[in-house]
Amino acid sequence: MGLGGCIILLAAGAILTFATDWHMKGVNLPVVGLILMAVGLIGVVTFTGIARRRRVVVPPTTPVVEEEAHRHHHVDGYHDGYGV
């Protein structure tokens, strides 16, 4: 579940808890809303913690390849690569 799913859980839980007055037999909707908000909050905290850890990781260094300075020697003495 991504960050968007966690935010949807938070919103659905808040709607069930604070914005509805439905009564279902055997189901306490405000408690279900609180549970959804708690799960969404745990998801947001987990997601941001993982994202923060990914940003701190130092990228691996790439090996430096040194090229030979004067690989091709021209007869006329120019070494600029154009052969002029």
Q: Is residue 61 part of a domain?
A: no
Q: Is residue 84 part of a domain?
A: no
Q: Is residue 34 part of a domain?
A: yes
Overall domain count for the chain = 1
Range of the structural domain that residue 13 is part of: 3-56
Q: Is residue 80 part of a domain?
A: no
Q: Is residue 33 part of a domain?
A: yes
- Tell me which residue of 9, 10, 33, 8 sits closest to 20, measured CA to CA: 33
Q: Is residue 14 part of a domain?
A: yes
| Cα separation, 39 vs 30, whole angstroms | 14
pLDDT band per the 50, 70, 90 thresholds, residue 3: confident
Higher pLDDT, 74 or 18: 18
pLDDT band per the 50, 70, 90 thresholds, residue 84: low
The pLDDT assigned to 58 comes to: 62
Q: Is residue 18 part of a domain?
A: yes
**What digits encode the pLDDT tens for the residues 6-41?**
999 999 999 999 998 888 899 999 999 999 999 999
pTM of the predicted protein model:
0.59
